Structure 1
């Protein structure tokens, strides 16, 4: 059976071409039916040009508006009621699709998901969970990477619970190691937020290893790294810049030093393998944990392969039943209700 996934066709920087090509790749390689959400005339023409007479399980759902990257999230969510984001997330709420993927405005996607889907019981603020490669060969989860720039200790406590469930359910890590991202490994290190979060998470029935530092994001010593969205987003953007730097420097070094044809071929293969391991397009997108439905958010610069993998992640997330597991976990707890102001959060643009 095909898994139905809604795809925001107007989200990425160069939309809708990457979305159209990504939908085609997804339907050719994955057991999915993609519902492209956006202006139907533009999408129909684009699909006809790319597909010709080929028939794939792709449907078009009309949305007359879209939210641009430079739109203010709160204003756009209130005023653009027929945006491709809102229409796609309504399909999730109405259970017409199993999940939703967008490479659009992160803040708007998070705010729209909270408004349309709502938060799971017991979850004050949803969090973006990014899968990152590590030196051990196994991926790790970093959260939050941009949904909430201001957090309270109990928010990080909830992030730890959701991230640990995600690591067990999707990454198949039997006993994930959970750490708080701080400036030192000692329990007393960090600011008020990390110290108080440390005390809360320490009491949870998790494999908590304490504070971890920036280098632990990629060395494989921790499976779930918890932080507020401000720190997480800075770490994410810094990592992206460093990855590009390393790739370009390595490429330049190989080009200038390899002269033999056989050596050049072997080096090219090694470089391509290295590039794929660090390529963000292979990871698809970051799930928004803690909402009543599957919402995956990708990078604005996503290419067709990143879009395809975003659809894949949405399908895998839905199949794993992560939301149901999070709801079950928090139903066994008695959290304090969030205030109206706190529940809104402050998403990044």
Structure 2
């Protein structure tokens, strides 16, 4: 079963001519027609006249001004406005017409290079009649960021000197820049070369000594070698060999000699390294004695061959390419000279 219902509506029409609007302004002496952006009010008074009132004026002040204008036959608002406009400067008139407000603020600008300024000066003249004339004037100077005062004639001399030597100065600056770039490139190459040097020396030490030392002692020898590449006469730590290492003093001297010559070090420096690092075998020998016999060999017993600087360089080049130590590649290279 369906249920339905109808809604009853009543239309009510209201025509504008049937409505009466109250024009009674007794409750308020004026009505505001519009408000400007700056707060100025466009007002219609009870007598039908219109005017403008600033935002800060009270009702009493507005009514007083309106009454004054009505009771003063000589009051001409347009004339007063024109007098106001005519009294403005060109800049003030432009600002007024374009609603521009200018404010003066103190500058906090810091001059990095300096600024120009005026300083008072005087010229004292002794006249023949015994009187004195003092001529006062101002000179323009340049004040540097450090507070130094430079007069214009001094500045002219500086500019003239710069123009005369400008090409020389630019040439010097260019040369310095080129030298700096070359030096930085050299440093980068040296850093790369030193890194490769250390890697090669450690690989050579491992190849040569790993059968005669414990691993922790081998690590100490690596650290000594790294330090040796930076500081030839450093405070090295002594290392110990295995009890049955089967290495002779000549073998240890050969190791120090080979690495030292690769680093372009001299005999006394190499002998100092050998005595300090392998202290136990050389404790009873003087550095001078070790140095005098650095290149002694015993071909039938030597386990570490004596290599020349050229042979070590060749071994280094081979290592950079193949990352291995292979003494066979230097067998036919220049042998060490005793």
TM bucket (normalised to shorter chain) is under 0.3
TM-score under structure 2 length normalisation: 0.21
Q: Rg: which structure is higher?
A: 2
TM-score under structure 1 length normalisation: 0.21
